[in-house]
A and B are shown apart, each in its own frame.
Chain A
Amino acid sequence: MTQRLVVIGNGMAGARTVEEILARNGDFTVTMFGDEPYGNYNRIMLSNLLAGVETEEGIFLNDLAWYSENGITLNAGVKVERIDAKNKTVHDSNGVVTPYDKLIIATGSYSWTPPMKNVHNPKRGYHQGVFAFRTLDDTRGMIRYARDHERAVVIGGGLLGLEAARGLQNHVSHVTLLHAMGHLMERQLDPKAGQMLQASVEGKLGIKVITNAMTTEILGKDRVTGVKLADGTVIECDVVVIAAGIRPNTEMAANSGLPVERGIVVDDQMRVEGQPDIYSVGECAQHRGSLYGLVAPLWDQAKVLADHITGTTDVAYTGSKLSTKLKVAGIDVASMGLIAPEHDTDEVVVYNEPKKGVYKQLIIRDDVLVGAVLVGDNSKAASLIQAFDRGTALPEERAGLIFDIGGPAGEVPPAEMADDAQVCNCNGVSKGAICGAVSAGCKTVSGVMDSTRAGKGCGTCKPLVQRIVEWANGGAAEEDPAASWYVPGVPMPKPELMAAIRKYELKSVSSVFDKLVPGGEHDAKSKMGLASLLKMMWADQYIDERDARFINDRVHGNIQKDGTFSVVPQMKGGVTTPAELKRIAEVAEKYNVPMVKLTGGQRIDLLGVPKEQLPAMWADLDMPSGYAYAKSFRTVKTCVGSDFCRFGVGDSTALGIAIEERYQGLEGPGKMKLAVTGCPRNCAEAYVKDLGVVAIDGGKWEIYVGGAAGAHIRKGDLLVTVDSAEEVIKLTGRFLQYYRENANWLERTYAFVPRIGIDRIREIVIDDADGIASRLDAAVDEAVQSYKDPWKERAEPATPGQFRTSLPLTVLPQVPVRA
């Protein structure tokens, strides 16, 4: 029988456990709760995000589609407050009670703040300018704030602190790292290695490091101006990042009466002690007295838990041997097991070359590797980790363990690696699995990474994955160079492409292929993107080649799964009249429309219309197209507002209609969905629209941009508050034009706004810092002027057979007809 599985925590361990359960075809309906308002992302990659070498898009592991495809209910942004183990329910922050048959707690950790004076502001949480480094929101906040500031202090000289310091260098000019202990990464490195790392961090990266530095106070009244150390030293700074360690999130479990020591106590099946139906995995779980703060052990735990919960008996997690192989702040570091000898008989092999910043230490007991530290050269790390994990006897010749003697310099060549040698430690991918993917047809590194997940953890093994893929391919794999191109078939990023289009005055899609693609090769998959770009750039000078349009844009309706189309009459602001309703009803009846549906955008959708009937229906309706297709300005959803609503403070309906009237049909790189709401109660859901307008007291309007509530959920950022409806209309156009010109093909505003940064967008669109505001206004005005109602094409088709059916004769999956 299908059981209800509830998972608390949508982080790396929680989501991975669910993946493992799905892979075993576990018979569960899954409900997940995540405190953070996102799908599941790779927390490890936050370091890269901060350092600017990864985008937000790139760090998501499972998008919202994954959840729905697998029938998982995701409660993103919802915190579980209590578990009622007796009644087998969880209670969340919305007051909703969810029953479970099996429960998994994967709440991870929070960033610990050492006691310091003035670190918290009673009103705001952290003092302004002080950040933790744990979540995507932390990282975004840090980047946003650091951009406008100069000097940063990072508190904590462990892995995380080093990554934070390195990343901040990307945004500020001075970074100081304060560490309370005698040497960096004291848990993984011995003093010598720690000093070596410090020398490299200072010398190569220019980060100032102070050890034995106990921070006692954050200085500054409204915002940070510096920090004070125990010895009285004051370090001036305007950004402080705290990376002083983590503590497991166990409060909720403890309050619910579960056994909690340092972490939630679990047995070898990851079952919470004394609870037959509750499990815990990840950083919050305490197993045989140990807590783990790296992902590799969590993956092991997830596998055991998944095996056990899907009915495999005889599985046990017996703990993990910790090893790390990292690029810490750009310097190779590997560490495993002991960092100092424990017995007199322990053998210690040390190699030290301070000038080059290379240090290696091995600890060997009875011919078995029990500890190793490597700094500055990780070439032997993979083989050492393998020897450490497996406990295999080491060769007599110890030097060979830390150097490539006689052989070629660098890492083991792929040809010489054993098939079961583990390449990606985060995801447990072997050389054999990578070669398997290549022989199954994946020829690019990114393709192999997608199909095996190799290199998708911390990313340190990516170069090795690349070399193996190349080797398996006979030496030829390449990273997909097309990643930065605007469309896959024209080898140029958007700005270059636009410049070339302007230079050669290319006004049709085919001319772009002919002129800009070497060999003049046309590419079907690039046509839509180019058509949209050219239309935006040339407005009514654009030469419209119909074959460049997607079928939806050729027949002005949305294609359905059975090859029929939908008809959505325009209904500005969601407002209609009895007469219009009657006409729509009559047309629906006359054409036997199988389904009449209200859409999420407050419009009436007539679904299941054969292509050849479209022109006649449009004529009978005699209403303009409602743009339920195309990458274009869609609808403006409105609430009733001050006209009728008791709470309304602004006439949201009128403003919504005015905006829709002006910008109808405007094309862009992605859909643009808008809303206007009459007060902050937000009945029209304006906070989660590409552009949302909210009436607030005093006749003012707030404009939010970059919101989304589709496959991705994001609350928009407040762009500006203005005094009049006219200003809203004008700034809406200016923002949309800026988006149209600068977004990548299919990049919705929820990705675009964070990529550019709301502050930067405000500078351009509101403060006119770049002096382009009036040009943007003029450009959007020109586009508005060239609007034509596409449904007028009904009288005279644009191409022969434009509305001829393409429907095959075979029986097709039908759109369900409801009585």
Chain B
Amino acid sequence: MNTLSLTNLGPVTDIPLGEGRTYAVDGDMIAVFRLRNGSLRAVSAVCPHKGGPLADGQIDNSIVVCPLHLFAWDLATGCSQSGQAPISVYPVREDDGQILLGE
């Protein structure tokens, strides 16, 4: 996991169930996803393949599929399922309805 100082990104309801949104944090872009099982995941927003916007991808409870060329990454580990470079994963949790990124 990558280190980041704890940041409040706002209410979880800003992210619809099963979708992702991009947040600018410390000059970095981070995609936060709200899985249909209610939990949150945070990964780097840029697809390592050709720079696709990962927050626009489709997810299930374990992977995100980039919208540009449909390669897939594991949301928990950042590992590619299709032979690409891994993406960075950040700690994220929900506290009192707020998205808390980092530790």
Contacts and interface: CB of A to CB of B under 8 A. Distances in A.
Contacts of B51: 562-563, 808, 810, 812-813
Nearest to A549: B58
Given A561-B50, A812-B51, A524 B65 contact: yes
A590 interface: no
Given A546-B16, A799-B19, A800-B14, A551 B59 contact: no
Contact of A801 (B15, B52, B59, B64): B15
Nearest to B24: A809
Nearest to B33: A547
B13 interface: yes
Nearest to A799: B16
A800 B15 contact: yes
Q: Is the interface of B mostly helix, strand, loop or mixed?
A: mixed
B6 interface: no
B58 A547 contact: yes
B1 interface: no
A271 B94 CA distance: 72
A551 B22 contact: no
A523 B14 contact: no
A554 B64 CA distance: 16
B46 A810 contact: yes
Given A546-B16, A810-B46, A524 B53 contact: no
Interface string B1-40: 0000000000001111111111010011101000010000
Q: Is the interface of A mostly helix, strand, loop or mixed?
A: loop
A561 B15 contact: no
Interface in B42-73: 45-46, 50-61, 63-65, 67-68, 70, 72
Interface string A460-490: 0000000000000000000000000000010
B68 A545 contact: no
Contacts of A550: 58, 67
Contact of A524 (B21, B45, B72): B72
A800 B13 contact: yes
B22 A806 contact: yes
Contacts, number: 98
Nearest to B53: A806
Given A561-B68, A563-B53, A806 B16 contact: no
A559 B58 contact: no
A524 B50 contact: no
Interface string A102-134: 000000000000000000000000000000000
A684 interface: no
A528 B58 contact: yes
A696 interface: no
A547 B15 contact: no
B43 to A, nearest CB: 12
Contact of A522 (B16, B36, B70): B36
A527 B70 CA distance: 13
Interface in A793-819: 799-801, 804-810, 812-813
Nearest to A547: B18
Nearest to B13: A800
A326 interface: no
A563 B50 CA distance: 10
Contact of B59 (A521, A547, A800, A809): A547
A547 B29 contact: no
A804 B15 CA distance: 11
Residue among A521, A523, A806 having the largest count of chain B Cβ atoms under 10 Å: A806
B73 to A, nearest CB: 11
Nearest to B58: A524
A460 B31 CA distance: 49
Closest 5 CB pairs of A and B: A547-B18, A806-B53, A806-B55, A808-B46, A522-B60
Interface of A: 489, 510, 521-525, 527-528, 545-548, 550-551, 554, 559, 561-563, 611, 799-801, 804-810, 812-813
Given A554-B19, A806-B53, 8 more contacts: A522-B60, A524-B65, A547-B58, A559-B68, A805-B53, A807-B22, A808-B22, A809-B24
Interface of B: 13-22, 24, 27-29, 31, 36, 45-46, 50-61, 63-65, 67-68, 70, 72
18 contacts: A510-B18, A523-B60, A524-B60, A524-B72, A527-B60, A547-B16, A550-B58, A559-B56, A563-B68, A800-B15, A801-B21, A805-B53, A806-B45, A807-B29, A808-B46, A809-B28, A809-B29, A813-B51
